[in-house]
Amino acid sequence: MDCIFCRIISGDLPAKKIFEDERVLAFEDLNPKAPTHLLLIPREHIAGLAEAEAQHDALLGYLQRIAAQLAQERGLTGGYRTVLNVGPDAGQSVFHLHVHLLGGRAMSWPPG
Ligand code: AMP
């Protein structure tokens, strides 16, 4: 298995897990870009948003809703950002779909 996020799901690689259920896992990003930087991933291996299919519609919405739930639990009352990097121009480096949840500081727009 050469997908690092699949290895985190299987327990083969350690991660600081924040939330898990039968569909989704959330853990701390190894190289945080904000005071809160979590990654939310589906247990099912999907390479990225570009590879998602209609059968994943509910899962994609669920990832976002769990992100909102975790943001609330983290007390991110000032706001936060959820991000999916898709492909090389966006800097996607891990090819297992993941939602970044970033918060705890002000963020500029447009993103770099
Ligand atoms: P992206 O550039 O959107 O593909 O984001 C991949 C993210 O995964 C980056 O923010 C990395 O810091 C993070 N990352 C890579 N390996 C690990 C790991 N083993 N545990 C936690 N986060 C990781």
Distance 97 CA to ligand 1 centre (A): 11
The answer to whether 13 touches 7, Cβ cutoff 8 Å, is: yes
Q: How far apart are CA 80 and CA 76, in angstroms?
A: 7
In the numeric block, the tokens 């939602």 are attached to: 99
Q: How far apart are CA 67 and CA 26, in angstroms?
A: 9
CB of 41 within 6 A of ligand 1: the answer is: no
Q: Is there a catalytic annotation at residue 98?
A: yes
State pLDDT tens for residues 65-105. 999 999 999 999 999 999 999 999 999 999 999 999 999 99
pTM: 0.98
* Partners of 103 in the β-ladder: 36, 80
State pLDDT tens for residues 37-58. 999 999 999 999 999 999 999 9
CB of 91 within 6 A of ligand 1: the answer is: yes
54 contacts: CB under 8 Å, gap ≥ 6: none
CB of 85 within 6 A of ligand 1: the answer is: yes
User: For the chain, what is the mean pLDDT?
Assistant: 97
pLDDT exceeds 80 at position 1: no
Ligand 1 atom 1: residue of nearest CA: 92
